[in-house]
Amino acid sequence: RIEKSFPHKEKGQVKVLDNISLEIEKGQFVSIVGPSGCGKSTLLYLIAGLDKVDRGEIRIAGKTVNGPGPDRVVVFQEDGLFPWLTVLDNVMYGLILKNFAKKEAKEKALEMLRMVHLSNDIDAYPHQLSGGMKQRVAIARALVMEPDTRVMEEPFAALDEQTRMVLHNELLDIWKKTKVTILFITHNIREAVTLSEKIVVFETRPGKIKTTFLANTTKNGIMPNDLTFQLEKRI
């Protein structure tokens, strides 16, 4: 029953989220879609612990979220890589902060970079990488921390369609191997259908849950194109 408002110079308080109730199972891939300004990203920040709710409660594995934590890692639309660090050092950075020995941090980082097919680029700097490669590094940096939950805010929005499709496949492969819980924010309905087990559709501001779809086509017998068409009609 999450509620969240923000101050507005002329309107006073503007409600962004209104009575949001959502349950995500461990290891599930859930996407949230909806029009701009409906509160999708606000909910992501609340779950990540980067902001606080006005009313309601967010619990992960039975524990109330009161701030950021190592059990939750965020991947933003911008990759946020440190330009002065190499690919390997960027992925190792969080592990070093967690007091991992340098040798162990390097082994973990190299393993994750192999998973995202960047083993040949470990000594490159961000400015030497394509947009898709940078996002691979960002995903590797997030996953190497071994979070229980990963929240992603339109991480592929700025990429071309071909690169986006490649990263979709890689993200799904990584998810199947790690079984990390993923909450994915996107404007792209087809992207949500391609990636998700469950799709939550938000109404316009104040954000409310309009409907929920199960996107696992092997269970509900709906083909991806049909489900995309249904979602487009409902939105």
Residues 11-33 pLDDT 10s = 778 888 999 999 999 999 999 98
Assigned token pair, 60: 């992960």
Stated length of the chain = 235
Q: Tell whether the model's pLDDT for residue 221 goes beyond 80.
A: no
Q: What is the pLDDT of residue 61?
A: 86
Express as a percent the part of the chain with pLDDT over 90. Answer: 28
168 closest CA partner among 46, 31, 24, 63: 31
Given a contact cutoff of 8 angstroms between Cβ atoms, the answer to whether 151 and 74 are in contact is yes
Strand 72-75 versus strand 149-153 pairing type: parallel
Q: pLDDT tier at 217 (50, 70, 90 boundaries)?
A: very low
- Report the side by side order of strands in the sheet with 72-75: 72-75, 149-153, 181-185, 29-33, 198-202, 209-214
Judged on CB neighbours under 10 Å (0-12, 13-18, 19+), 15 is middle
Lowest-confidence segment of 22-26, 197-201, 221-225 by average pLDDT: 221-225
Residues 178-189 pLDDT 10s = 888 999 998 888
pTM for this model (two decimals): 0.78
Residues 127-170 pLDDT 10s = 999 888 888 888 888 878 877 888 888 888 777 788 788 888 88
Given a contact cutoff of 8 angstroms between Cβ atoms, the answer to whether 68 and 115 are in contact is no
